[in-house]
Amino acid sequence: MPVHRPGTIRPRGLAALVTTLLAALALTLPLTPAHAATTPARGTAHMGMGVLAHDGRSGTPTSSDATQTEGVDVAGYQGNVAWSTLWNSGVRWAYTKATEGTYYTNPYFAQQYNGSYNVGMIRGAYHFATPDTTSGATQANYFVDHGGGWSRDGKTLPGALDIEWDPYGAACYGKSQSGMVSWIRDFLNQYKARTGRDAVIYTATSWWTQCTGNYGGFAAYNPLWIARYSSTPGTLPASWGYYTMWQYTSSGPTVGDHDKFNGALDRVQALALG
């Protein structure tokens, strides 16, 4: 039997003591980035946030197509936007985030929405959907009541529903594929009832396939705004034979998020007029 001398600690006891001290020390140290919370604050979501996180690509369109018209989309995190700079670079249309869920309105909405209009752009507003918080109709009403309406002035595009990965939780917001389709339909129906226009659907093919089962029932009436950061828009969701808009990068000049409208400027004007 080993002798335990006074003032010494047995090996097992020493290991236990070291473990206890390290645990206590860890509680007093600040969290490292790896341990810090990665969930963003409610309201900070924006178009393409999920594309970068889940379906990111690199590359931009390989050539400048004269039949396409350059656009941008902006949100509150970008602050006051240099609209004259964008106009001078050839940007002719823009979408501004107006709302998210039923709990957020963009504090920079007036500068962004009116600023683009004032330099001559055709502009619209978009809503970041959170299907896990309230119904589609409720969010459509909130959107229309906070900047997402439409007027036949020739410079206002129909509102867009930004439906993509949940930045705050599970990709499909806890909904089944049929439940997601029902939520989207609820939003679209109420938006049309309020404005007379069919809303644009912004999404990515991989999310749409995962969370709606690649549902094709909206293609006949709702223009598609496809998100894909690459040299081509790639495969489109079911039943859409073409895209109306394509968000092709999040690292373009001035504001980052740049888009192509699938047509010349007169087609942008036609969508605005309905």
Crossing angle of helices 136-143 and 177-195, in 10° steps, is 40
CA angle centred on 86, ends 91 and 146, rounded to 5°: 85
Nearest to 127 by CA among 117, 137, 119: 137
Question: What Cα–Cα distance (Å) separates residue 91 from each residue in 55, 117, 245?
Answer: 26, 12, 14
Are 71 and 258 contacting, i.e. CB atoms less than 8 angstroms apart? yes
Encoded amino acid at 112, one letter: Q
Give the pLDDT of residue 71: 98
Give pLDDT tens digits along the chain (274 positions): 444 444 444 444 544 444 444 444 333 333 333 333 578 899 887 887 778 777 766 666 765 566 999 999 999 999 999 999 999 999 999 999 999 999 999 999 999 999 999 999 999 999 999 999 999 999 999 999 999 999 999 999 999 999 999 999 999 999 999 999 999 999 999 999 999 999 999 999 999 999 999 999 999 999 999 999 988 999 999 999 999 999 999 999 999 999 999 999 999 999 999 9
> Would you state the pLDDT for residue 14?
45
Q: Find out whether 10 and 1 touch, Cβ atoms under 8 Å.
A: no
Which CATH entry fits the domain spanning 49-273: 3.30.70.360, 3.20.20.80, 3.90.1150.10, 3.40.50.150?
A: 3.20.20.80
All structural domains of the chain with their residue ranges: 49-273
pTM: 0.84
The two beta strands, 160-162 and 200-203, are: parallel
Q: Are the C-beta atoms of 98 and 65 separated by less than 8 Å?
A: no
Residues catalogued as catalytic: 73, 162, 164
User: CB neighbours of 160 closer than 8 A, spacing ≥ 6?
Assistant: 95, 124, 125, 126, 127, 199, 200, 201, 202, 225
Q: What is the pLDDT of residue 18?
A: 41
pLDDT of residue 53: 75
